[in-house]
Structure 1
């Protein structure tokens, strides 16, 4: 049982440093591992980095990214004497397993399997997971996402997994694979769509750009999102073309894409005649999700960030940086610490006893009420369920989770709402009830359930829970030990508080869209990654909050603004601009960190290989294999960047006559990163993902058997994550509501249509 009678001071200290006393060693470099331990540092853990001589991260470009990731940590040259004293070791070397109580390995493919040890860069992993192949216009080459987003996603998963493993007290190996993390986060479950639709043939290349999405204004770009029929109808009115909403060829997204030239000509005539602010103001009047497309030079000045104090000065004073993307009890984490001097710290850890151990999954015994919809919130609660929590999804027959409506079956078919692929993938490991929270009886039942719960999660716009009378003040009266996690798009205060936000909006505001696309073209949307990214940050924060609750006996209010989670993962362009005035922008398939790098067309229809030469030694092996006798200047990366057009032409000729899979394997065998650019839905067939068991089979009473993605990390003690299938609407009304309501009350509620198992209306 949690301790009782906390003081305000103890509560303040607990929420400021929930991981106080946790000792972490970090043997990683790059982004994924250091971001994992940055999240642990921000939560109060004592993190010590083990640095090689001349760590390249310190000297790369301005060094600002290294400072952002490692501020507040300590640095040593050798950790031999510390290994037996650490609670967590974060490493990229599988040989380190067993050197600490919890060992988190962060590798591109996992510690075993047919692809373990394969050469990689973020760019080639995007090709292998299907992200690149789904993005762009069909007449153009496929387009990778900018900003090494997969590494940030992986680091977030690794931090969550580390905190979850600590809860059991048991020795644990957590095997985090970057390919798994990217496969579950950087596209919207295309393999689940394909399976549930019967694997229809791909029409054309399969690449699409959302229409409408990024629009040119007279002074920049804005993004407009029409995820629902109502939003599209309102958008047609906004741009002065209401007749479009009655045009069947434009009202449907697929056929609208086919007529994109016609449609966008009319939309651009509207948007280019207005400033960004004017387009956004009119979209707000129609309650259409929209946002500016910002970049490294102006993101910190976004009015919502300024009003909420999101950015604060680094300890060195060199730049502004975003705070950790969560608030516990309304309090920010302490300010960032200083960046450690290399290999200079005396750590001084003393031996201590082992913590108590408990069996079962990390969150076994926790009950979660899930008041979420769409993707970010359901992805978060699905993670909680996979880790062992009893998650109860709360919907209503009049307004279920609208991801049920993104269905592969038409509304003319019975129970068509049960055929939503995204709903299935983001809602496994849950039970489901229906409650009408617009009625006093529905609210009463919810409060009775809340009295039995440990956590309530919601991701509505901020006014909704208050309108139900179920805000934080009321819920903590009902259950003083409750953790309430709120996931608004933009936060619970500020001028954007009540605006609707989807992943597309978030990508644009944080600068991710600005970095994606070709230099000559407009910014492009990444395609959804901000939803799961926010969800994983939210679960990390929820685990911190339950740790505080268990320590103090008092419930905690948690706020995780979706835009702030994405902002942390998109921060590198801002740091570079703040420190040296360089505005990073779109490079297509090229990179500042590798040359040559690109997607190269192979023999056959729309077959491509992604190649990324990350260092001079890789270039020498590739050049020798291709039989090229180049002048000595190309041995250096700077010259290869300068002559990239020439190298692209020569590589294009080599790839053109070869089958993609054969060419990728041939180059990969040299130790040079190369992968086939696959269709996103084909990730379910990847031999490494199959070996790791990323996909488990759901057996559903309506849709049958479907392979769904599970957690992108493995615990050595857990053979498989998928425990339950996704629930049908109201499936568990009797079992769950029957705990807090008698048979007569349930009969009356069913008779009134307040609870049920079929969509109403």
Structure 2
């Protein structure tokens, strides 16, 4: 595996950071997730079924934590911090996504990490950066997206804005990219490095279109609903059945003519004003009515098949259970069956890339139980004996169950 032999101390929580370390684990890194029984990763309780052990049943946590090891170390105790620093000594990477003040108050900022291990690379993922007046503001995807303007261009004009949360996985991808560059720098120079990935700047990078549009031309991009900016018709249309929909995206004049032929709209095809994308965009509402009158009479899958056969891009909208089975994804081996000791065997999305010479299924194992690898890591990596580990457990420096449950 590309990152085999790389050890990562994973201090991340929720989504953006764990998404990054999940990718690292998939690529072969030994990712050791650090939580505490006083404050486990908050995602352990997101969407979990209300049965014991609640903290091991979250599908949200499971989705971004396969293949990792897990230890619990109490960060607000000198013993816990000392053990984390010992773990950093024998690791290559430290990654965290707290507000800047959090790791700093525990003595785990970049100068401290560098002093412990000069070859270590530290990736920090604050909401707004390690400098500036907003430095210590906490932030999640929902708040960061408001700053970037991403939420401004989503949804329908007569309805509230739609928050997408996309900057979390985007932040994770940027963090991995930055880390890989830092690893190459270390390979060449032997030097460790601090990599900073501010989520607000990641989101602003994704929103570059509206920034350039306004700064260059003074135009403000508003909500487009499901329509495209440069071609028409494009949208999501109701199909037969309860809450069934189909997406159609005409990009060329040829596709427009094919669409008219399939839906029986020869009159629209014959209108000179609709022969161009600009003309169709001006008449979008009228065209949408004709498309939906046709799609409403058909199953979404059948409507998509007819359009695709004619060369018109179209796909039925699906939810989670409709994704499985999916002939395309199954043929590509995208889903991976993983057995979890609490929740049983489930399908997990695989890595959205493949490599020649490597298997498609890259998850090394299930998401870890809380503190599952305490003894293994403390004994094998840090050299503690059974008596020392037992004493740590008695003092709740380590543990396997949240203290508040």
TM-score range normalised by the length of the shorter chain: over 0.9
Match for residue 248 of structure 2?
Answer: 611
Are the aligned partners of 2:233 and 2:288 in contact in 1 as well (CA < 8 Å)?
Answer: yes
Q: Which SS does the other structure have where 2:369 is aligned?
A: coil
Correspondence 1:596 to 2:233: yes
Task: Please say if residues 25 and 363 of structure 2, whose CA atoms lie closer than 8 Å, have aligned partners that are also in contact.
Answer: no
- Inter-partner Cα distance in structure 2 for 1:682 and 1:657: 21
CA distances 1:339-393 after superposition (whole Å, capped 9, x unpaired): xxxxxxxxxxxxxxxxxxxxxx110110000001000000000100000100000
Q: Find the counterpart in structure 2 of residue 726 from structure 1.
A: 367
Residue 146 of structure 2 is aligned to residue 508 of structure 1? yes
Q: 2:321 & 2:182 partners in 1: Cα distance? A: 36
* Residues 35 and 41, structure 2, Cα contact 8 Å, conserved in 1: yes
Partner Cα separation in structure 2 for residue 407 and residue 733 of structure 1? 26
Which of 518, 539, 545 is residue 176 of structure 2 equivalent to? 539
* C-alpha separation in 2, matches of 1:567 and 1:501: 15
Whether the 8 Å CA contact 1:379–1:532 is kept in 2: the answer is yes
Q: Is the 8 A contact 1:407 1:417 kept in 2?
A: no
1:639 maps to which of 279, 282, 304: 279
Q: How does 1:15-26 map to 2 (within 5 A)?
A: none
**Counterpart contact for 2:393–2:399, Cα < 8 Å:** yes
Partner of 1:707: 347
1:516, 1:414 → 2: CA distance? 38
Query: Which residue of structure 1 lines up, in the alignment, with residue 310 of structure 2?
Result: 670
**Aligned with residue 755 of structure 1, among 395, 398, 405:** 398
Per-residue deviation, residues 132-163 of structure 1 (Å, max 9, x unmatched): xxxxxxxxxxxxxxxxxxxxxxxxxxxxxxxx
2:65 touches 2:368 (CA, 8 Å); kept in 1? Answer: yes
- Equivalent in the alignment of 2:25: 385
Whether the 8 Å contact between 1:391 and 1:431 is mirrored in structure 2 is: yes
CA contact (8 A) 1:407 1:416 kept: no
SS at match of 1:591: coil
What is the CA deviation profile of residues 70-112 of structure 1, one whole-angstrom value per residue up to 9, with x for unaligned ones? xxxxxxxxxxxxxxxxxxxxxxxxxxxxxxxxxxxxxxxxxxx
> How far apart, in 1, do the equivalents of 2:263 and 2:56 lie?
53
Q: Do residues 463 (structure 1) and 129 (structure 2) align?
A: no
Please report how far the alpha carbon of residue 682 of structure 1 lies from its aligned counterpart in structure 2 after TM superposition. 2.9
Match of 1:497 in 2: 135
Residue 746 of structure 1 pairs with residue 384 of structure 2: no
SS in 2 for 1:513: helix
Report how far residue 647 of structure 1 moved: 0.9
Which consecutive unaligned segments of at least 5 residues does structure 1 have? 1-360
The 3-state SS of whatever aligns with 2:156 is coil
2:153 alignment partner, SS class: coil
Separation in 1 of the partners of 2:121 and 2:106? 18
Q: Confirm or deny that 1:371 pairs with 2:11.
A: yes
Q: 1:376 to 1:684 in 2, by over 3 A?
A: farther
Q: In structure 1, what is the Cα distance between the partners aligned to 2:375 and 2:224?
A: 55
Contact 2:262 2:306 in 1 (8 A): no
1:432 aligns with 2:70: yes
Offset, 1:407: 4.2
SS of residue in 2 equivalent to 1:707: strand
- Aligned equivalents of 1:742, 1:659: Cα separation in 2: 64
Q: Structure 1: how far apart are the matches of 2:321 and 2:112? A: 44
Q: In the alignment, which residue of structure 2 is the partner of 1:417?
A: 55
2:341 and 2:299 mapped to 1: Cα distance?
42
Distance 1:682 1:396 in 2: 37
TM-score, with structure 1 as normaliser: 0.51
How far residue 458 of structure 1 moved from its aligned partner, in angstroms, is 0.6
Structure 1 residue 681: Cα displacement: 4.7
CA distance in 1, matches of 2:314, 2:147: 32
2-structure distance, mates of 1:742, 1:723: 28
Please give the alpha-carbon distance, in whole angstroms, between the structure 1 residues aligned to 2:326 and 2:206.
27
Give the CA deviation at 1:742.
Answer: 2.6
Q: What's the CA shift for 1:478?
A: 0.9
**Structure 2 CA distance for aligned equivalents of residues 384 and 496 of structure 1:** 29
Deviation at 1:680, TM superposition (A): 4.4
Shift of 1:752: 1.1
- The answer on whether the counterparts of 1:684 and 1:695 sit within 8 Å (CA) in structure 2 is no
1:426-470 CA-to-partner distances (Å, cap 9, x unmatched) read 111100001011111111111111000000001111011111111
Match of 2:376 in 1: 735
Contact 2:13 / 2:42 at 8 angstroms: preserved in 1?
yes
Return the alpha-carbon distance in structure 2 between the equivalents of residues 684 and 372 of structure 1: 30
Question: How many residue pairs were aligned?
Answer: 398
Q: In structure 2, what is the Cα distance between the partners aligned to 1:425 and 1:567?
A: 26
- 5+ residue gaps, structure 2: none
Is contact 1:455-1:483 (8 Å) kept? yes
Q: TM-score, normalised by structure 2?
A: 0.95
Structure 1 residue 472 corresponds to structure 2 residue 110: yes
